[in-house]
Structure 1
């Protein structure tokens, strides 16, 4: 019996020695859509990749406002949430086609799109504490809308399989870090400072049973939220506000008492936990404690960096090569703090590994799409050995 058109197309792509794929990432900062056009040869530990093009297309204020109405909220407008599932998928498809037009790329040249979607709520069991309910996470921006509008097979909703396989749905950076970032003879910590900070430890032995990946704590999420509230800025460009302020050590020490930091590894978190309401609650416990806006930004920046430094000291080593990606890699206030706290470590960004630090997460999802098409499940540490992603066809 002949395969139908969709399955035949999928079969043909899966049989290719190399594939061109698009990875999409829209993070908790809501700054825009990261679009990475990549070429992959091979799969699993033999994967080789080339970043062909990359762009971040900023979201307009109206779009960001709509997402914020449902993002990381225990109670939200169900109708708006439903509408956004389709709207985000269509909008992302429009941005992809816009990027293709600028790059002079014919969509027919692209084998697949791998979309992270937009995280709306992340709820690992350690966080929701509802008896009988498992770990859960929700990313919206339906893949069918992307596939139909672009005419390209789309793979999406990657985190659900990770949870179904026994994980917490994050951090998925683990798989890309292992396949693209390992090097025999060099122990490496790949640190991503996005909305949340996460890291993957890659031992010099390349023994996959020794690899671990985990969220560390807040990355940019608290800094961005405070900048928006007090300075009407989406983020602290070049760490300028933090560098103009003074760290409030009393508040910093109080923030570091959060129970999350004492939980075992691996673990995940999000803005559902680390948000301004939490910070304001901590400030309220410090009786009659006042803090200037610039000092608050300085303190939250130190909070991000100090929690990372404590993690490295406790779980890895103070003598380690650290490669940084994400928005935090471009924040001198964060990086300088880390260099002072971890003077024995060598800290650089992932450019030295041939991985654009701004594009790293979008590359990751393009890689996960490549694995879904032609890879095999890999056992890494105590993480689920699964292939992730759901397929949406254009016809």
Structure 2
């Protein structure tokens, strides 16, 4: 037996495993690194978050990624060289953190790497009949494995697309395994660059679980702050809080066919970007708005489209329509740190109980990295949970395996 296969077999047979989950989202703030200890799989999964850190990306790194990020026309050589470059970068970050945490490399079983999304193109966005759902993440797994000396699982989203999904949101799988609770209906709301939620039924029926994007989270706000303030984001909504909501602009922002499409659905900065904002301002004759008013309106845009998606979910679940209080919403992602978005959400959804995933034992900032570690654990020792035939949640194992030798 090949020594790499033999080692993988040994890892799958062990009672517990150390897995590092890596996540770099569309905000491109940095790399989230979660060191997790796993026992069991499926509904019996036990997870302990041992260490977590976010390593910020320099402006040089962000600028290199922006050259190809969410653009239809790019320098193809730039994409080609970025793929191994990002893989090596992520590998070096992992090695540096293991040294910082005083964790021997040989004790880590697996790295689960999401990679860096550079283009997301489901059929509902590209509209090309003969082509399937598509998405592209870079940060080559082979380079990461060789750099660290650790077996790496990567490129998780391709299997989801191959099985008929849109490649996102993948949070549904980890959310179900980690955060489901009998007797409590939950909505796991993640507000990263794009906002999405997972619905978890209190009866623990995997057939009822699904996830969907709702529209923009922070992506347009962050892009605006970068262009006009040369800042990565609006910390504590300090700029937006000085502005006033503009209803004319908000109305046009919400007039996109994406919001009328059925669940589940996905989107990205390919649609919701500064060009989208400029077109909306032109149509609403609001080009003279102050930056403060624009940012306040963008916060409301994110909040309203999230709230309306959750309300739509309730109408599709008649048994809960009369009693939305039975749901608890657990938030994560950068949006939970935006007080204006959170204020708007609580105003728009007054019947709902808001919490953070921190209350469930997993930091909201670490949640997505932990979820990819969970997907890797399932690929190794699980894969038996049946999510039924619900659209967007194929029952598949995800992650391509890269060996360090």
- Judge same fold: TM > 0.5, yes or no: yes
Q: CA deviation at 1:289?
A: 4.3
3-state SS of paired residue (2:294): helix
8 A contact 1:372–1:388 mirrored in 2:
yes
* CA–CA distance in structure 1, aligned partners of residues 286 and 38 of structure 2: 57
Q: Out of 385, 390, 394, which is 2:400 matched to?
A: 390
* CA–CA distance in structure 2, aligned partners of residues 197 and 133 of structure 1: 26
Q: Which residue of 2 aligns with 1:277?
A: 275
Q: Out of 56, 77, 80, which is 2:78 matched to?
A: 80
3-state SS of paired residue (1:53): strand
Matched ranges for 1:1-395 at <5 A: 3-287=1-285, 289-316=287-314, 318-319=324-325, 320-380=327-387, 382=390, 383-395=393-405
Q: CA deviation at 1:200?
A: 0.5
Q: Root-mean-square deviation (CA), in Å? A: 1.0
What are structure 2's unaligned runs of at least 5 residues? 315-320
TM-score of the superposed pair, with normalisation by structure 1? 0.98
Per-residue deviation, residues 250-302 of structure 1 (Å, max 9, x unmatched): 11111111110100110000000100101101111123642100111111011
Per-residue deviation, residues 88-147 of structure 1 (Å, max 9, x unmatched): 000000111111111111111100000000001000011111121000010010000010
* CA–CA distance in structure 2, aligned partners of residues 363 and 193 of structure 1: 16
* CA–CA distance in structure 1, aligned partners of residues 79 and 34 of structure 2: 27
Per-residue deviation, residues 10-40 of structure 1 (Å, max 9, x unmatched): 1110111111000000111011000000001
8 A contact 1:377–1:387 mirrored in 2:
no
3-state SS of paired residue (2:239): helix
3-state SS of paired residue (1:344): coil
8 A contact 2:252–2:283 mirrored in 1:
no
3-state SS of paired residue (1:284): helix
* CA–CA distance in structure 1, aligned partners of residues 169 and 287 of structure 2: 36
3-state SS of paired residue (2:278): helix
Q: CA deviation at 1:181?
A: 0.8
8 A contact 1:29–1:221 mirrored in 2:
yes
8 A contact 2:249–2:286 mirrored in 1:
no
Runs of 4+ in 1 over 4 A off after TM superposition: none
3-state SS of paired residue (2:5): helix
* CA–CA distance in structure 1, aligned partners of residues 230 and 384 of structure 2: 45
* CA–CA distance in structure 2, aligned partners of residues 27 and 289 of structure 1: 30
